[in-house]
Structure 1
Amino acid sequence: MKIWFTVLYLFLIPYIAGAQIDSSLVEQDTFVSVIHTQIVDHKIAFKSELRPLVQVPGGRAPFYTYLWDFGDGHFSTAAEPIHQYQKAGDYEVTVYAVNNYDDGRKPKRPKKKVTVNSALASLEASPSPFEESFFTSNGIFQLFKNSDAKPGEDMAVVAGVNTNGKKGKVLLLTNEKVAGLDGFVLAGQSNYYNEKTDSALQHKEINSLWANVKQSTFTKTGSPDYGIKEERAFVSPNEAIAYFSDLHTAYNSLATYEIDGSQSETQFTLINLDITEDMLVDTNAIVTITGVFIPEDGIANVHQMDVPVVKSHDPNKMSIRPARMNYRFQKKNKELTYKVQFQNDGEGDAKNIRLEMFLPGEVDLKTFRLQALYPQCDSCLTADMRGCYQYDIKEDGTLTFHFKDISLPGTGAPDITDQDSTKGFILFTVQTDKKLKNKAFKSYTNIYFDKNPPIKTNNATSRFRKVFSPLVTLGASSTFGTPTNNDIQYKFKPGVQFGVGIAPIAPYRKPYWQAELYTSTFKEEATHPLTAAEGVIQYIDENGRNTEAKYNSYTINSKKDFMTVQVPVQIRFNINSFLSTGAGVSLRADFNLKHQESITYDTENANGVNFQITLPQEVEKDKMSPIKINPFWDINVGRVYLGPALGIRVAYDVHQKASAGIYGIWRF
C-alpha cells in the first residue's frame, strides 16, 4: 500500500507545486535584482542591479527608466540617485524599473531596508530634481506615472500636493466609462504622511464635497506637460455640483484619501495600479486618469493625465482616442484625437524631427488642429523662425509635421537628469468627412531624427464595439399559384406578418448571422375533386320544411385560418450601404385558428331539375402542425446598416410550395 501512495505522490508533485506558485499578472524574470547603497557626504547613494537588457533583433538599444521610492515620502527618477534622509530610522527602499525597447521579461522589483542613524539624518530638506520640477502644470497638485499602461503589468502613480499647510481631500478617478473596460485595479497606496483612506463616499457626502468648491483649476498632461490650463469660478453650489458630478460619472472607479497639511508642506503619495489583461483589446488607445484635490478653503485643482495603453514599452508610438466607438451613436463629422510620442535615445541633441503620419482615408486632413506639442515652439509662419514647426499635406495624403532647428536632448547625454526632457510629442485632432464604416482603421507614423533612418511606430487602431442591432419587421406574404396535392386544389390568401430579430450591428463586407422570431397569418381554401356517388340527403328548404333529395355526386370544400410562428436563421452579407442579401432556413409551426367545411351535393328534384345543395359540416380544428424546415432567400433595399429598408423574402414549403413576402424592416 505504501508503494502506491509513494507513486501517487510523485505523480502529483508537479501539479501541487504548480498550484502553490504565486501567480502574477506577468511572468517575471528569475534574475535576482538587488539595490546597492553607499554613504557619500552624509547622504546615501543608491544603485540598482537588474537583469541585462535584451535587444530586439534589429531594434533600438534598450534602456531602463526608474522611479525610486525612498520609503520616507520622497521619490526620484534618476538612475543612481543620492538621497538625504531627514529623520533617523529604518526605511524600505523600492525601485520601479521599466524596460524600454526590451525583449525580455519584466524585471523583478528589488527592495532594500536601510538604517539611518542620527549622524546621517539632516533636518534640512534635499528634494530630488524629480520633486523640484514636479508641479509644472499648476504649482499645487499633479499626477505622474512611471510608465504607460501595459496590460498584465502594473503602474505606479505619484500624486503630489503642495498643501500650503491646509487639510484636504484627494480623489483619484480611473476606468473611464467611454473605454468600456475596468482596466485599472487599485493594488496599494503609501501613507508616509498619515494619509487617511476613505471608504466609499455616499451620494450625499460627495455632493456636499462638490458644493464647497468655489473655484477650480483644470490642467492636463501626457508626457511631458501639455500646457493646458483652465480656470473656472462657480457662482453657486449647484453649479459646482453639476461640474464635478459630470466629471465623476465619466469614470467607474473612485479612490479617495484625506491629507493633513501639518504633516508636510509638500506631500507625495504613491498609488499602485494593476493593469488587467482585459485592456489588451485597447492597446494603442489613450485613456485618462483624473485626480482632484479639494482643500478646506474650496479652491480645487483638477489634474487629468493621458495614459497610452501599449503592448510594449516603446517611447516612439502613436495613440488614438477614442480607440473603441459606438457605431449607433456616431456622427458624420466624428472628432478623433491622435498623439504621436517620440524620444531621442542618442547622445547628442536632435535638431530636426519630422513626423510622417499615415491616417485613414475617411479623415479630412484639412480639419487638422494642433492641441499641444513638445518641444514648445512657434509656427514657422511667425516672424521668428528659429526653433519652429510647420506641417503640410502631401499629394499621397500623408500628413507631415516638422520640428525645425530645435534642441531635443538625448538619453545618452551624461548630464541628463530628467528623462521627460528627452521626449517629445504632438497632440492633435482631426475630423472624419463622412460616417465611418464598421471596420477597424489604422494609422501609423514614420519618425525621422535628423538624417537617421525612420522609426516606424505601432499601428494606432480604432474600432467599433461589438454590439447587437435589434430589428422589427412588418409586412405581407402570399403564395404563388394554386398548389395541388392528391387532386386537392389549394388556394392561399395573403396575410400579414410581424417579427423581431437581432444581428450584429452594421457589419462591413463580411458575412454575418441574423436570427428572427415572427408570426404571420394566412388563409387556406381547399377544393376536393368531384366524387360520383348516389344517395339521399335530408335538408330544410327555404320554407322551413324537412325535405329529401337524391344526389348523384358531391364536392367537399374547406376553409382554414392559420397563424404561423417562425424562427428564421440566416447568413447575410451587406453588398453596400443600400443593398444586402441573405439565405437560411426557418423553423416553422402552423396553428389552426379556424376551420370550416361544407359539402356541395348535385341533386335532382321530382320534376327532373338539377340543382346544388350546400350543407355545413361539423369538424375539429387541426392540431399544431409538425415543425417544418423551410429554406428561404432574402434581399433588403434601403438603409441596410441602420434605419428603414424594404425586404423581399422567397421561401419554399412542402405544403404551400413557393411563397413570398414583402415587408418593411427597421434596424436600431
Structure 2
Amino acid sequence: MSITILHAQVLPTDTVPAIIKYTTENGATKFDSELRPLRQIAGAPAPFYTYFWEFGDGGFSFEKDPIHQYKKTDSVKVRLFATNNYDDGKRPPTKPRPIKPLTPKPMLASNDPSGLFKMGGNIELKSNCMPKPGDDMMLVFGYRNKATNGQQNVNGTVAILYNDREFANNNFVLAETRTYNNEKKGDLKSMLTTAYVPSKKNAPVYYASLTNEMPSTTAFDEKVLLKDKAKDFKSSESWRFENLQQGEERFLFMHFKTTPEMVKDTNAVVRISAVFIPDNPLLETEFFNMELQIVASHDPNKMVLRKSRMNYRFTGKNRELTYKIRFQNTGEGPAKKIDVAANISEVFSMTTLRVTKTKPEVVNCDSAYTGQSCIKTIKGTDSVHFVFSNIYLPGLQQKGVNDADSTMGFVEYKIRFKEKPKKLPIKSGAAIVFDKNEPIYTNRAVGRFKMGLSPALIIGYGFPFQTDNKNYLNDKNFVIGASLAPYAPHRSYWQVEVYLNTFKENTFLVNTDVGISRDTIVNKIPYRIDRKDNYRTTKIMTINAVPLQFRYNLNKYIGAGAGTLVSVNLYDKSTDELRYRLIPAQGTQVNLNVIANDLTKRFSDINASFFADVQLGLVHVGPSIGFRYLYDPKTNNSRMGTYLTWKL
C-alpha cells in the first residue's frame, strides 16, 4: 500500500495587489480593502497596516475605511497605498480601480476641510511612509489660500525640491505627479533670481513631523533669494496655479520611487522641500521642509540622530548633537504613561543633556502641579529615562480614532561631548514602554564621521630612489614628497605617497686604448691615433611612489605601516662618446670627440622595494618622525631610512 502526499502550492502573497471595495449610500462612497495577511517579525509588536487613499478627484484620506463625497459623476481611478508595519514582507502592490460615482445630494456637495494644514501655512507636505531603498513613497502636496492672506484670488507657482546635494547619489525619482486643478508645468529656474524667501527663524518656514513646530507669522527684515535655498537640492519641479479662492485647498499627488542607490544608512535623514511662490508681492514666499528618515523596514518607533554624518576635523568638545526618539501607540486603548529609555554613549557628557521638544507638549514634572501632564528626566551613568506621566495618547486601533498623527509622539534632546571623541561610530538605541506593556526596542541611531582627507609633507633621508640600487648603500639621498590618507584615522587606514622626480646625470669612462699607433686622416691631414677613450653619459629621470600602504595607529602617538615603494624610470638616455688623441706629423696634438651611440628609452625599468616602518609623534594629525626599513629583492639589499612628516 502506498500513500501519495500532495503538496499544495503556496502562492507568493507579496505580489497580490490591494483589492479596493466600495459601497455607495445617500450619495456618499464608503471604501474598504482586502489585503494579504500580515506576517509578524519575531520579537516585534503586532503588525498592522497604515493606509493612504487617493480618490481620483483630488481628495485623499489616511483612514482605514474612509467615506468620500464626490462632487461629479465622472469616472475616476481610486488608489490605495497600504504600508505594512512590523511585517517581514513587501508592501502590497497598488492597482488603480476605476469607479463611476453616483450623483451626490446637494447637501453633501462639498467635503469637510482636509485637516492637512496643521502648521498653519499656505503649503504642507505629508508622506504615507518613511522612504525605504528600492520602494515607493507617496507624497501629498497641499496648498491653499488661507483666510489671513486677505486675498480673494491668488495666482502663483508651487514647487518641489528634492535629492539633497549632501548625498552623492540621488535618493528619489519623481515617477508621476497627478494634478486635479489645471496646474501647468512651470519653469522654476526663471524665478530663482527674483523670488525671495525668509531667512530668519521666526519667518514662515514650516517643518514636517520630525520637528512639529508651529510657525510664527512675525514679520521679518531680512530676505534671501530662492536660488540660495534651492542650491541645496539637485532636482526640482514646479507648477503654475491660477484663481485659488480664499479658503480653498488644492492637492498634488506625487509618486516617488526611491532609488536602490539611496543612502543605505538607516539613520540618515533626507529632505524634501515645498515652495509656495505667489505672484502678489504682498504675500510671502513660503517653504515647507520635510525631513524623512531612511528605513530598512516600516516601524513607527524610531531613534533619529540629526546630521549623523559629521566632519571630524571640525568636531570638538562643544559640538552638540540632536537626538529624537519617535513613538506611536499602536494599541487598542490610550496610553497614560510612557517611559522612553535611551542609552548614552560614553563619549557624551551627561550633564549637558537637555530636553528641547516633546510631543505631547508637557511641562517638567519638577514644576507641575498634582495630576498635570509632565515629563521627568532621570539620568543614569550610561542611560537616561524620559517618563511622560498623566498624558492621554490614543491608540491607533482604538475605536473612534481616525487620525494616526494623534497616536504619535516624540522626545527630542541635545547633548555634548566630554572631549573630542575618537574617530569611531557613535551608537545609541532606545526602548519604549507604554504603561505596563513589554518594551519596544527601536533601531540604533549611529553617528559616523566623514572620512575626510589628510595631506602631509614628507622629508626623507636614505631612501633608494633608483631602479638599480646595487650601489645604494653608499648613496644617501634627501627627498621631498607628499602623502594622502584619511583624516585622523583611529586605527587602520590606507595611505599613498609620491615623491619629487629625481634627475641624475653621470659620465664615466668605459675603457681606454693607449699606444694604438694607427693612422687616420681628418680633413685631408694625416694623423696617428695615440689614445682612444670610450666615455658613456647616462641621464635618468625617476619617479618614486608608494601606490598603497597599510597603516595602523596603535594610539595617538605611535603608528606602524607596511607597503611597497615603486621606482620607475620615466626617461633613460645613454650616450657613448669616443675621445681620440691624434698626433700629426708636424705640430701639436689634436683631440677629437665622436658620438658613437645615442639611445633613449622611456619607462625603461621598474623596481619595487618592500618596507615596514614605525612613526612616533602626533600620528593622527601633526608632526611625527618615521623610521623605515626597506628591502630590495632585485638586488637582495636592505637599508634603513628616516623621514619627518606633518599631517594636516
- TM-score tier (shorter): 0.7 to 0.9
2:563 aligned partner: 584
2:455–2:484 contact (8 Å) kept in structure 1: yes
Partner of 1:627: 606
| 2:171 is the alignment partner of 1:186 | no
- 1:146 is matched with 128
Q: CA deviation at 1:58?
A: 3.3
Distance 2:261 2:45 in 1: 29
**Partner deviation per Cα, 1:51-73 (whole Å, 9 max, x = no partner):** 11111233211111111111111
1:621 Cα shift? 11
Between the aligned partners of 2:111 and 2:133, the Cα distance in structure 1 is 36
Q: Deviations over 1:213-264 (max 9, x none)?
A: 99951121216x62243556454xxx5234x343222222222112223468
* Cα pair distance change 1:300/1:369, threshold 3 Å: farther
Q: CA deviation at 1:186?
A: 1.1
SS at match of 1:420: helix
Unaligned runs of 5+ in 2: 1-11, 147-152, 518-534, 578-594
Aligned to 1:176: 164
Partner of 1:371: 356
Q: How does 1:3-22 map to 2 (within 5 A)?
A: none
User: SS where residue 139 of structure 2 aligns?
Assistant: strand
What is aligned with 1:609? none
Are residue 155 (structure 1) and residue 137 (structure 2) matched? yes
Matched, 1:503 2:496: no
1:247 and 2:247 equivalent? no
Question: Which residue pairs with 1:303 in the alignment?
Answer: 288
TM-score scaled by length of structure 1: 0.78
Residue 5 of structure 2: aligned partner: none
Q: Deviations over 1:135-194 (max 9, x none)?
A: 111242211111111111111111212225311221222122234432021111121111
Distance 2:514 2:441 in 1: 98
**8 Å Cα contact 1:150-1:310 kept in structure 2:** yes
Distance 1:501 1:66 in 2: 55
Q: Please state whether the residue corresponding to 2:614 is helix, strand or coil.
A: strand
Select which of 204, 224, 229 maps to 1:217.
204
- Offset of residue 474 of structure 1: 2.8
Of 437, 446, 450 in structure 1, the residue corresponding to residue 422 of structure 2 is 437
How do residues 454-465 of structure 1 correspond to structure 2 at under 5 angstroms? 454-465=439-450
1:573 corresponds to which residue?
552
Question: Are 1:387 and 2:373 matched, yes or no?
Answer: yes
Q: CA 1:523–1:634 in 2, change beyond 3 Å: closer, same or farther? A: farther
Q: Report the residue type matching 1:76 in the other structure.
A: S
Quickly say closer, same or farther: Cα 1:197–1:594, change in 2 above 3 A: same
Q: Percent identity?
A: 34
Tell me, yes or no, if the aligned pair for 1:173 and 1:291 is still in contact at 8 Å: yes
Alpha-carbon spacing, 1:520–1:44, altered in 2? closer, same or farther (3 Å): closer
SS in structure 2 of the partner of residue 29 of structure 1: helix
Q: Secondary structure in 1 aligned to 2:462?
A: strand
Q: Cα–Cα, structure 1 residues 455 and 647, in superposed 2: closer, same or farther, change >3 Å?
A: same
CA 1:367–1:287: 2 relative to 1, 3 Å: farther
Q: Is the 8 A contact 1:387 1:404 kept in 2?
A: yes
* Shift in CA distance, 593/401, structure 1 to aligned 2, threshold 3 Å: farther
Whole-Å separation in 2 of the counterparts to 1:447 and 1:216: 35
State whether residues 519 and 563 of structure 1, in contact with CA within 8 Å, keep that contact through their aligned partners in structure 2. no
Using a 3 Å threshold, how does the CA distance of structure 1 residues 622 and 514 change in structure 2: closer, same or farther?
A: farther
Structure 1 residue 478: Cα displacement: 6.4
From 269, 276, 279, the equivalent of 2:252 is 269
Answer whether contact 2:198 2:220 (CA < 8 A) is retained. Answer: no
Task: Report how far residue 323 of structure 1 moved.
Answer: 2.7
SS in 2 for 1:71: coil
1:414 deviation in Å? 0.7
Q: Within 2, Cα distance between the matches of 1:123 and 1:51?
A: 34
Which of 476, 481, 501 is the aligned partner of 1:494? 476
Which residue of structure 1 lines up, in the alignment, with residue 212 of structure 2? 226
What amino acid does structure 2 have at the position aligned with 1:517? Answer: V
Distance in 2 (alpha carbons) for counterparts of 1:185 and 1:525: 64
Judged with a 3 Å threshold, the aligned counterparts in structure 2 of structure 1 residues 138 and 649 are, in CA distance, closer, same or farther, namely same
Conserved in 1, the CA contact under 8 Å of 2:195 and 2:285?
no
What runs of 5+ residues in structure 1 fail to find an aligned partner? Answer: 1-26, 539-556, 598-617
- Counterpart residue number, 1:347: 332
Aligned residue for 2:640?
660
The SS at the match of 2:353 is: strand
Q: 2:414, 2:351 → 1: CA distance?
A: 11
Q: What is the CA deviation profile of residues 609-642 of structure 1, one whole-angstrom value per residue up to 9, with x for unaligned ones?
A: xxxxxxxxx9999988742221212222333334
2:378 partner letter: D
Q: How has the CA–CA distance of structure 1 residues 73 and 651 changed in structure 2, closer, same or farther, with 3 Å as cutoff? A: same
Q: What are the superposed Cα offsets for residues 388-419 of structure 1, whole Å, 9 maximum, x if unpaired?
A: 00213202x11221111111111121111101
In structure 2, the CA distance between the partners of 1:535 and 1:288, relative to structure 1 (3 Å rule), is: closer
Q: Is 2:230 aligned against 1:257?
A: no
Q: CA deviation at 1:321?
A: 1.9
1:319-334 alignment to 2 at 5 Å? Answer: 319-334=304-319
Distance (Å, rounded) in 1 between the aligned partners of 2:33 and 2:77: 14
The one-letter amino acid of 1:184's match is: F
Q: 1:491 to 1:270 in 2, by over 3 A?
A: closer
Retained in 2: the 8 A contact 1:490–1:527?
A: no
Checking the alignment, whether the CA contact within 8 Å between 1:213 and 1:299 is kept in structure 2 is no
Cα distance change of structure 1 residues 650 and 415 upon mapping to structure 2, 3 Å threshold: same
- Counterpart residue identity of residue 79, structure 2: T
Q: Which residue of 2 aligns with 1:288?
A: 271
Deviates more, 1:226-235 or 1:263-272: 226-235
* Structure 1 stretch displaced more, 271-280 or 64-73: 271-280
* Pair 1:384–1:656, CA change in 2 (3 A): same
Is residue 55 of structure 1 aligned with residue 34 of structure 2?
A: no
1:109 and 2:91 aligned: no
Structure 1 range deviating more: 416-425 or 428-437: 428-437
Matches within 5 A, 1:190-201: 190-199=178-187, 201=189
Secondary structure at the aligned position of 1:116 is classed as coil
Displacement of 1:664: 3.1
Q: TM-score, normalised by structure 2?
A: 0.80
User: Which amino acid letter does the alignment assign opposite residue 208 of structure 2?
Assistant: T
| 1:313 and 2:292 matched | no
Q: How has the CA–CA distance of structure 1 residues 232 and 327 changed in structure 2, closer, same or farther, with 3 Å as cutoff? A: farther
Q: What's the CA shift for 1:491?
A: 7.0
User: How far is the alpha carbon of 1:561 from its aligned partner?
Assistant: 9.2
Query: Whose helix proportion is higher, 1 or 2?
Result: 1
Partners of 1:231 and 1:49 in 2: CA distance? 44
Residues in 1 aligned to 2:108 and 2:334: alpha-carbon distance in whole angstroms: 39
Q: In structure 1, how many angstroms separate the alpha carbons of the residues matched to 2:189 and 2:364?
A: 47
- Aligned AA (1:567): A
Q: Distance in 2 between matches of 1:208 and 1:370?
A: 40
Q: Deviation per CA, 1:74-120, whole angstroms, max 9, x where unpaired?
A: 11111111111122221211111111111222102132222124355
Q: Does the 8 Å contact 1:441/1:462 carry over to 2?
A: yes
Return the letter of the residue paired with 1:393.
Answer: K
Give the aligned residue type for 1:637.
L
Alpha-carbon distance in 2 for matches of 1:152, 1:51: 21
Measured in 1, the distance between the counterparts of 2:197 and 2:435 equals 53
Counterparts of 2:491 and 2:463, CA distance in 1:
32
Deviation at 1:656, TM superposition (A): 9.5
1:113-128 matches, within 5 Å, as 113-120=98-105, 124-127=109-112
CA distance in 2, matches of 1:170, 1:200: 9
- Cα distance in 1, alignment partners of residues 177 and 17 from structure 2: 25
Relative distance call for 1:477 and 1:351 in structure 2 (3 A) is same
Query: Considering only aligned residues, what root-mean-square deviation do their CA atoms show, in Å?
Result: 4.0
